[in-house]
Homo-oligomer: A and B are copies of this chain.
């Protein structure tokens, strides 16, 4: 039989100086209160469905829900007895030093590998374009001969069909990778990374198979001529590299290298993911500072100097790596002044004057409106797609359709617009065979040069070409087409970013704006439409993504220019103000569509009178500090909760449907209970506990890793044993009284990255639990110029 002595000894060893003399030892738990919990749960679910029906009839908007399937990351340390005793060991000093050294080493590796992945993507895109231009088209065009536009319509058709066919093949590869291998790899990846950094466990977002699908997929979709950027996917790739390297193992491959075990928890992984995301931005734009700011602006809530510094290190190493590889690839090995992947060239004329400020403000307003329009239309389109294009084949077909239409429209535009310019008039434009084929000898088509080159190159020529390089009609048609194609492309099942397409659209209308200004004020010299193209590009992108300081830094670093910093900031600021009057940023819209319980920067306004007893969930299942294994198994089987509070006694309450819980003593994660059961850390016949691995307190809460209950193979004998939870639980979880306000709770969650917050009454008795979803469902809305707090329902899907 269980020796009481052992139990008492444990109790007197307890770290809690307020050890309650009344412990629930003697009470044998019946399962009746579990049944009560289940009953209450059912009733609550019925209420939920009812409320949902009300809510649905009431709703003005169609995506006012939060999905229950997203869990929080475990950012908190379980400070249990093992954790505290680990510090007392002499080896802990060495561990501290090792951890600190390994963090830097991992950040170095993240930088190198992110750089390698980015360079790989870039080189893949280069070759796919190379095949298209130098092999496929050259062959076809040489067959057609040097005839003039229109005369060889038949031949043109062949070129076009070959072109579109090649694009479709690449896009099919990208779509198959996304649809059948890693669905999370679709789109830009920035919304997912933003949610992850916000503290939400997005399933599979940082897996190796996601990384591979993303890297190959984006090379194919960009190479396949879609209106898609490779920058967003590079950021996602960086984040996946960060997670992968820091864990020293791969779930996708099932390989465990046994490295960096100390980083195998959500907290450390999230830090490395933020470093990886920064490295991704740094690789994509040659912008290490912009990368760090991106990670901070989009994700981190707590600015930690050490973490920031490591992020910066990763970003820097990643820039170095990309520069090195590309300098080698471009035949200038070792020349590190290379300029990153998205290189927008250097402005020669850097002057601007005070009277141009109102013009920049106007560009900001236009960008804000166009960005808001883009977001509105794309959100509607995504909702439509969610409803009607949900089958795998349907999605694949849509990708092919987009690829075909993109290619077709390009050819159509070139046929329709006659914008031939003499070769050499524009030193920045490269005149290839493809853009000469529709013009007379010695001329090239400006339209074709926009459509048939890398989008980055097109941005560059819009920024730096001499004043008359592009006709007004060309810019109007190109801008509208690119706007619509980007709109359609963002959200189909291929990896595709929105940065470069938005910049390109903006550069087109910005340049148009510059030309108009030049025609309106012919007396003023020195008006460079390239400057306005830059402002327009910033405005369009800012209007779509609504980033501020990080976007400014990225654009400044990518253009290698600081002089235009001030006007760009001004444009981005006005853009954000104007855009925010209409709707939220593209990434935030997509996060809302995915029903992710993201926490914003500030608590909702007008929520002071929403108190903890309204926010919390009452259907909490608690454990005592010493429980029969059978009850634990029953609880694990009957609930899906990921963490359980531990109280000092549980009493049946005759009046309430839920048991009356005693004082809050701690909490334990589902995964920790599993590990305890798996290692059979339960007492019987006075046997002492078998040791647990030292890193038990850093227990992962990863569903994939967790065996099913039946796999544990617990016998009836096992189930009759007692489990002493106290040494393994977190002994002082965050708690608030029942009268705590929502803003206070919000700041706790946001400032500390909480997963669970327990609500206690005045006597420290457990009354409820608050999770991220409970906080996130209160949303601030503005209707008729007044702020309101809406309460979203939590959908079970």
Which of B352, B611, B735 lies in contact with A735, CB distance below 8 A?
B735
Given A557-B565, A732-B744, 14 more A-B residue pairs with CB atoms under 8 Å apart are A17-B738, A18-B763, A93-B606, A96-B787, A289-B565, A293-B293, A296-B303, A297-B308, A304-B601, A334-B355, A335-B353, A560-B563, A562-B562, A735-B735
Contact A84 B303 (CB under 8 A): no
The yes or no answer to A25 lying at the interface (CB within 8 A) is no
Given contacts A320-B566, A565-B557, A566-B288, contact A297 B305 (CB under 8 A): yes
Over the window 175-202 of chain A, the binary record of Cβ atoms lying under 8 Å from chain B Cβ atoms (1 yes, 0 no) is 0000000000000000000000000000
What are 11 A-B residue pairs whose CB atoms fall within 8 Å in the complex?
A15-B611, A18-B761, A289-B289, A296-B296, A301-B302, A309-B573, A316-B570, A324-B354, A336-B353, A732-B744, A748-B752
Report A401 CB to chain B, min CB distance, Å: 38
Within the complex, the shortest CB–CB distance from A93 to chain B, in Å, comes to: 5
Does A663 make an interface contact (CB < 8 A)?
yes
* Contact flags A490-517 to B (C-beta < 8 A → 1, else 0): 0000000000000000000000000000
Our pick among B312, B353, B565 for the contact of A548 (Cβ within 8 Å) is B312
Whose C-beta in chain B lies nearest to the C-beta of A86?
B608
CB within 8 Å of B: which A260-312 residues: 288-289, 292-293, 296-297, 300-306, 308-309, 312
Copies in the complex: 2
- Whether A566 contacts B602 by the Cβ 8 Å rule is no
Given known A735-B735, A738-B18, contact A786–B302 (CB-CB < 8 A): no
Min Cβ gap A10→B in Å is 15
Contact present for B566 and A557 (CB under 8 Å): no
Contact with B along A742-773 (1 / 0, CB 8 A): 01100110011000000011111000000000
**Chain A, interface size: which category?**
35 or more
Chain B neighbourhood of A17, CB < 8 A: 613, 738-739, 761
Which residues from B are CB-within-8-Å of A102? Answer: none
A residues engaging B (CB < 8 A)? 15-20, 77, 79, 83-84, 87-88, 92-93, 96-97, 288-289, 292-293, 296-297, 300-306, 308-309, 312-313, 316, 319-320, 323-324, 334-337, 350-355, 357, 548-549, 552-553, 556-557, 560-563, 565-566, 569-570, 573, 576, 601-602, 605-606, 608-609, 611, 613, 648, 663, 731-732, 735-741, 743-744, 747-748, 751-752, 760-764, 785-787
Enumerate chain B residues within 8 angstroms of A87, measured Cβ to Cβ. Answer: 606, 608-609
* Smallest CB separation, A304 vs chain B (Å): 5
Q: Which residues of B contact A316 (CB under 8 A)?
A: 566, 569-570, 573
